[in-house]
Each structure stands twice: as structure tokens, then as C-alpha cells.
Chain A
């Protein structure tokens, strides 16, 4: 495998795999219902080996029905947002771009707010968030296609405009919403959380996430070429327009799916790819697996903090920006010095 070049130790992804495994296992024992390592191991092993049951039923429920879906959700959301950020940054040739540059989050927020306003079920909220995220990006893409000049600039500008349009719709719904229960629900959704995630939600979102991840992984080398200027990329033989469309579709599927179960979680799509580039360089052949592993680990870690820090859950979006922003400043300063 290319990513495990022997003469270049820096590009090995093994440390990130180990990091993810450690955080993954730790996450099961953390929480309001502490489970010690030994019991945890036994509970896991009992699924494959015939071990005599020496623990209460509650433990099994906590591990497999409460914590497992949530842990998987944190991994999926973290990797989706981080990977979308990483590929968008390359495509827009700007390391400060985040996954919602094409208004996917704004669209999802509108969908969710609308669903909450009309008192839909959790599944309804998720479906609306997912669909409107895609609708927003589709609008951005098709309008920008009408602009003949610089395609990248057109996407960015239309993205900002459509984003602000959907944001004002969200404000309008909040203004009209019932202040007793609906307004708080919308506000809480906008702050992001994984507290209500269930196993069936995971099944539903893992399909679009997988559908987005595979093409991006297949295109990993071409994404490098896409970071060059449009003209250079084309003259090197890359159909830049087509690849761009695949990247937009893939990222949108992943981000919309992630946001539909988690609400708005900022910063991660910006910070993780940046950290990845510092650790392994910009080559997408290594950066993609690195970003996936780091993004999953990071959000899992943050979610663990969110559910254990205080007796009441802290919204994820608040934590990611509380940790993300200072961390980003630290990265920039560190980079500026060297």
C-alpha cells in the first residue's frame, strides 16, 4: 500500500487507528452508569464466546442499546464532517473552507426547523433535514452553472447567498414557533447533540454516508490534481467539472446525513483536515484515511465529554467550537512560527 511507504515513516496511519481503538473502547465504560473494564470485556466476549453471565441485564442494555449506537453515530458524524471539509478545502483551493460552504447545513437547519414546527416525529425531522440539505446544495450548484465565469467563485458566492436565505427562513420559523416547546426544540437542534440517537437512525444514515465515502476514496489521487488551478487540472487530463460534481454530491450526501442525526456541529470540518495535513501532508491518498480516523476519534472524544462533564448534557456544537476555536488558533500560531 502506498500509504505505508517504508522510507517515509511520517505517512503511516497506524497511530491513528490505535488512537481510534483506544477512544472507542474507553467510550463504553464512560457515562453516568460506569462499567469497569473487566465486565466490559466479558460483555463483549459473551457475544462470540460462551461465557457464563455474571452481570446484570442493565449493563448489557447500556452497552449495546444505549452506548453502542451513540458511539457509532459519533464516529460516523465525525468522519463525515471531517472528510467533507478535507475534500472541499482542496476543491476550493482554500484551507479555511468548511463542509457547509455550499449551504448544506443551512438547508438542513431549515428542514429540521420546519419539521419541528409542524410537530413531526424524530424520523420526520431527520428526513426533512437530510432532504433540505440536499435541496440547498442542488440550488447552489444549478444556479452557479448559469454563471459562465470562474466556476469556483460562482459556487462560493451562490453558496453564501443560498445559505443566508435559508438562515433567514430558520429565523422566521423560530419567530413564529411556539415559545413553550417548539422554539427550545429548534434552538437545541441547532446546537447539535447525539443524545437521542437510536440503532435504526444509524442504519438509515450509514447508507448515504457510505455512498459518499466510496467515490471520494476512489478519487483520492485525482483530488490532488483538483487542488491545482482549473486550467492546469484540465490540461493534465482531469475532467475538472465532472470530478467537482462527484465531490459535491458525495460530500453533500455525507454532510446532510450526518447533520440529520446530530444537528449543527461546527468547526470539526475545519480543524480536523488542518490537523491531518500538519501530521501527514496534503496528499489525499494518505489524508483521506487520516481524516476519517481523526474525525471519528475527535467527535467521539468530544461526545464523551458532552455526556459526562455535567449531569445535564452539554450540546455538542457548543463544545466543538469551545474546543475547536482555541485549538485552531494554537495550530495557526504553531504553523506561523515554523
Chain B
């Protein structure tokens, strides 16, 4: 379980977010919603320790992780940044294998066992056929899947992603979310920022609304995330429609312009 307690974050003396509180359990998909520049990435980076929190704590299974080494953190949380590039022409299998870094001791290189774990990760995302392809030559959707495979090879219980569906076409967005849902069903915790409220309606077990330096936690967004919340969040008139489809209620968010 990941717990964020009274977390304030920002750069230097400038506070961007104050007193953030939320918890994410095994099986949760937490969607972080908010406008550009509201502090979604800052929140994610502060949880990861990439930005030192100004106040408060981040706990995993009750232990504060603020002073953990990168190696210890990596065994519990994996992080997929908004953009990632590779200057050199690494093969997909090498990139996935890098997920094993935190398990290697000082002088060792990945073993056969690590390679098997990397293969399993690719298999579970159905990208094993990309194994020997050059990573930087892949399409955006494929690259995103490779990064998820890397996170799976890392065998961390929590995956934090900064706008994982950005730059993906509609089909790839759904594919990505499907895979993330499967991960959550296996007991992992997914925390992701996104620009579409529908992702929170469809897959979110929790939503975090980031606005004006505050974060509001909403349980079960499909039920509790209201029209007014979203209007306030994005400063735009909108309507949430409910569709009954095969005995499943699907919510859609449509702008009223």
C-alpha cells in the first residue's frame, strides 16, 4: 500500500501543491486529473523522490521512503515518465532487461534468470516478437508497451505513469488501459495522470483532482465524480452522459461549446 501523508511539493521555496493526502491499495487504478501546469507531474515526481518533498511523507507498507536509496525504491515502485528517448540503438530486449537493474549487485550483469523474467514480461504484453527490434525505431504505442514491459520486469508492486496515453491513437490508448487493468487485477497498484476523464470513469478506482495547489481524492469516480467537479477542474462547460450498454453503465464527458 502506498500512502501519501500531508505532502507538500514544489521547487525551492515555491509551493506548487500543499497537504496532499491519499492512499493507493493493491488493485487500485488511481487517475490523476488536472489541467496543464496544475502540478500533476510535480506530484508524481515528488512521490518518486525525483523532487525532494518540502513537507510530509510518502509511505510504502507503513515505512517512509524519503531516505531510501534508488535501488530500494526501484524494487517497490516503477516509474514511466511522460517522454523517454534512446540516443543509441538498443534492442527491445536490452531495454526490458534494464528493468532488472535494481536486483543486480555491484559488479554483476543480468543473468539467464533475468533474461527469462524479461521475456515473460514481454510475453504478457504480447510484444515478444519485438524482442530483437531496435527500440528507437518503434512506433509510439509499441515503445510505451516496451516501457511497461520494463516496469513489469522490475517486479515492483506499484507503477506510476505520467500521461501514459499521451501521443497514442485511440486503439493504442485502449490497449494500454486494458494492459494496465490486467496488472491491477493481478494485485498491482497503478497510478497515472491522464487528460481524459473517461479513463477515470472506465478504469479508475480512484481519482485525484489537482487544482489550485490542492488535491482532492475521489473514491470510485464512476459513481462519485460529478459534472461540477470536472467543470471546476477544467473551467469549461461540459455534460456527463450515462449510457447503458450490455448491462454496464458507461459515462461519457462531452464539452458544451
Residues of A within 8 A of B (CB): 2, 90, 93-95, 218, 220-222, 224-225, 227-229, 231-232, 234-240, 277, 281-283, 285
Contacts and interface: CB of A to CB of B under 8 A. Distances in A.
B74 A218 contact: no
A235 B88 contact: no
A237 B101 contact: yes
Contacts of A231: 45, 48, 50, 79, 81
Contacts of B90: 224, 227, 281-283
B87 A95 contact: yes
B71 interface: yes
B98 A225 contact: yes
B18 to A, nearest CB: 22
B94 interface: yes
Given A227-B88, A281-B91, A283-B94, A239 B71 contact: yes
A285 B94 CA distance: 11
A218 B107 contact: yes
Interface string B88-121: 1111001000110110101111100000000000
Interface string B160-189: 000000000000000000000000000000
B87 A227 contact: yes
Nearest to A234: B70
B101 A222 contact: yes
B73 interface: yes
B84 A277 contact: no
Contact of A232 (B69, B84, B104, B106): B84
Contacts of A227: 86-88, 90
A72 to B, nearest CB: 28
Contacts of B78: 235-236
A94 B94 contact: no
A237 B102 contact: yes
Contacts of A277: 88-89
27 contacts: A2-B109, A95-B88, A224-B94, A224-B98, A231-B45, A231-B48, A231-B79, A232-B81, A232-B84, A234-B50, A235-B48, A235-B70, A236-B98, A236-B101, A236-B154, A237-B70, A237-B73, A237-B74, A237-B75, A237-B102, A237-B154, A238-B70, A239-B69, A239-B71, A240-B70, A282-B88, A283-B94
Nearest to A94: B87
A238 B74 CA distance: 9
Given A235-B79, A236-B154, A228 B101 contact: no
Interface residues of B, number: 35
Given A229-B84, A234-B49, A237-B75, 19 more contacts: A218-B106, A218-B107, A221-B104, A221-B108, A221-B110, A224-B98, A227-B88, A228-B98, A229-B81, A231-B81, A234-B50, A235-B73, A235-B74, A236-B154, A277-B88, A281-B91, A282-B89, A283-B90, A283-B94
B247 interface: no
Contacts of A235: 48, 50, 70, 73-74, 77-79, 81
A235 B80 CA distance: 9
B118 to A, nearest CB: 13
B71 A237 contact: yes
Contacts of B48: 231, 235
Contacts, number: 85
Contacts of A224: 90, 94, 98
Contacts of B50: 231, 234-235
A205 B78 CA distance: 43
A225 B101 contact: yes
A287 to B, nearest CB: 9
B85 interface: yes
A281 B107 CA distance: 22
Interface in B124-165: 150, 154
A234 B51 CA distance: 12
Nearest to A2: B109
Contacts of A229: 81, 84-85
Contacts of B77: 235
A228 B84 contact: yes
A220 B89 contact: no
A231 B44 CA distance: 12
A236 B86 contact: no
A223 to B, nearest CB: 11
Nearest to A220: B109
Contacts of A222: 101
B13 to A, nearest CB: 13
B70 A239 contact: yes
Nearest to B11: A148
A224 B104 CA distance: 14
A224 B50 CA distance: 20
